Amino acid sequence: MTEPLFSEDEEFDRPRLAAHGPVRVRVPAKINLHLHVGPTRPDGYHELTTVYHAIGLYDEITARRGDTLTLTMEGEGTGELSLGEDNLVVRAVRALAAETGHDPHARLHLKKQIPIAAGLAGGSADAAAALVACDQLWGTGMSRDDLAVVAATLGSDIPFLVLGGTALGTGRGELVSPILTGGHTWHWVLAVAEEGLSTPVVYRAFDELGGRTNAGPPDGLMAALRQRDPEVLAGELANDLQAAALHLRPELQQVLDAGIEAGALAGLISGSGPTCVFLAEDGRHAALIAADLEERRCCRAVRTAVGPVPGARVL
Ligand code: C5P
């Protein structure tokens, strides 16, 4: 008879044992399938109704025990991103420590594939990953809902990155509820621009342009998700920040046009941009669109990704 890998007691102890070794957490990027921007609130944020969608383009954080808090990184944004107290990962670790009474001690290493300042919530994703990693490392035993509460204090879209999947976001984006789409997979192509855009700057441009909204309530989008027909979904994608992003970067219109010429069913700016997202019929179609866009050399990088995928998870 083969021995079980873990006796029952060891099985019971596994989370604690795992927490003493390195903890690896993978976290996805997000796109907004629908982004309705409402009025400015007294706290300066805009009231949002958005449909978040987590896609299979990932960052990874490894957390180890340490006597202080340190952060190192490799990949996208290395040398550009501050690794100091203003980094969202560091802020997330300190917020979790304050919430749980734990010392904010960990050695963190971030492997970044999600482009920075791209409208893909890469920084928010890393903060979500840091919360999940340190929760496991320290054995705080917080629920995902508890983590989402801490996440909301750090940034509007961080609770979604803890949850993942497809979800409705309201409030300033921090109130998330899952949208069940019956396990269907959608295929996307991303065109990443040369230079990033700052989210506050895009919201300011939105206000200066008169705060005009084109995206109504996301009812049609919800129905399209349930119908699982990419042609139908294509007609429902909407982003109120698109005009502002195009105002700041008119050349993005050529990228959007190029994606449609390459055969995409629809194209839109992701979140506050500048990444352009294209919907494909299936994986093969996505690969064809990506190859076409790459040949046109109209952007810094082209990626394909599927969605929805889970949020920040321990590997
Ligand atoms: O919440 P987060 O820190 O990610 O937001 C970044 C910036 O984006 C805010 O400082 C604000 O300028 C803008 N924002 C907004 N309304 C929202 C979310 C973000 O105006 N609902």
Q: What is the distance between the terminal CA atoms of the chain, rounded to a whole angstrom?
A: 29
Whether 77 and 164 map to the same domain: the answer is yes
For residue 140, being part of any structural domain is answered with yes
Using the Cα atoms of residue 42, residue 219, residue 150 and residue 70 in order, give the sign of their dihedral.
negative
pLDDT of residue 118: 96
Whether 21 and 161 map to the same domain: the answer is yes
For residue 276, being part of any structural domain is answered with yes
For residue 1, being part of any structural domain is answered with no
Per the structure block, which two tokens stand in for 21? 């070794």
Residue 125 assigned as binding residue: yes
Among 199, 202, 272, say which to mutate for ligand 1: greatest number of ligand atoms within 8 Å of CB.
199
pLDDT of residue 14: 40
Q: Is 112 a known active-site residue?
A: no
Provide Rg for the chain, Cα atoms.
20
Whether 28 and 75 map to the same domain: the answer is yes
Choosing from 149, 180, 211, the residue where a domain stops is 180
Band of pLDDT at residue 19, cut at 50, 70 and 90: low
Closest approach atom of ligand 1 to CA 155 = 1
DSSP string across 47-63? EEEEEEEEEEEEEEEEE
Choosing from 180, 212, 242, the residue where a domain stops is 180
The residue whose C-alpha atom lies closest to atom 15 belonging to ligand 1 is: 45
pLDDT of residue 6: 31
Query: What value does the mean pLDDT take over residues 107-120?
Result: 97
pLDDT of residue 214: 86
- Residues spanned by the domain of 253: 186-307
Residue 120 assigned as binding residue: yes
What backbone phi and psi angles, to 5 degrees, belong to 159?
A: -55, -35
pLDDT of residue 8: 35
Query: What value does the mean pLDDT take over residues 229-249?
Result: 98
- Report d(CA 276, CA 192) in Å as an integer: 7
pLDDT of residue 216: 83
For residue 314, being part of any structural domain is answered with no
pLDDT of residue 121: 98
Whether 282 and 256 map to the same domain: the answer is yes
- Report d(CA 265, CA 281) in Å as an integer: 7
Residue 56 assigned as binding residue: no
Band of pLDDT at residue 20, cut at 50, 70 and 90: confident
The residue whose C-alpha atom lies closest to atom 8 belonging to ligand 1 is: 200
pLDDT of residue 217: 87
For the stretch 40-95, pLDDT in tens is: 999 999 999 999 999 999 999 999 999 999 999 999 999 999 999 999 999 999 99
For the stretch 133-162, pLDDT in tens is: 999 999 998 998 999 999 999 999 999 999
Beta bridge partners of 269: 276
- CATH assignment at residue 115: 3.30.230.10
For residue 3, being part of any structural domain is answered with no
The residue whose C-alpha atom lies closest to atom 19 belonging to ligand 1 is: 45
Whether 119 and 205 map to the same domain: the answer is no
Whether 106 and 206 map to the same domain: the answer is no
Omega cis (within 30) before 39 = no
Query: What value does the mean pLDDT take over residues 102-131?
Result: 97
Of 59, 126, 135, 157, which one is the catalytic site residue? 157
pLDDT of 113 above 90: yes
Whether 49 and 137 map to the same domain: the answer is yes
Report percent pLDDT > 70 for the chain: 94
Q: Is 67 a known active-site residue?
A: no
* pTM listed for this prediction: 0.93
Whether 40 and 100 map to the same domain: the answer is yes
Whether 165 and 220 map to the same domain: the answer is no
161 within 8 A of 89, measured Cβ to Cβ: no
Choosing from 180, 212, 232, the residue where a domain stops is 180
For residue 167, being part of any structural domain is answered with yes
- CATH assignment at residue 220: 3.30.70.890
307 within 8 A of 51, measured Cβ to Cβ: no
Whether 166 and 214 map to the same domain: the answer is no
For residue 280, being part of any structural domain is answered with yes
Beta carbon of 172 within 6 Å of any ligand 1 atom:
yes
Whether 14 and 112 map to the same domain: the answer is yes
CA angle 193, 164, 200 (to 5 degrees): 45
CB-neighbour burial class of residue 131 (10 A; exposed 0-12, middle 13-18, buried 19+): buried
- Report d(CA 310, CA 302) in Å as an integer: 22
| Structural domains counted in the chain | 2
Average pLDDT score, the chain = 93
For residue 223, being part of any structural domain is answered with yes
Report percent pLDDT > 90 for the chain: 89
For the stretch 166-211, pLDDT in tens is: 999 999 999 999 998 888 999 999 999 999 999 999 999 999 999 9
Whether 175 and 208 map to the same domain: the answer is no
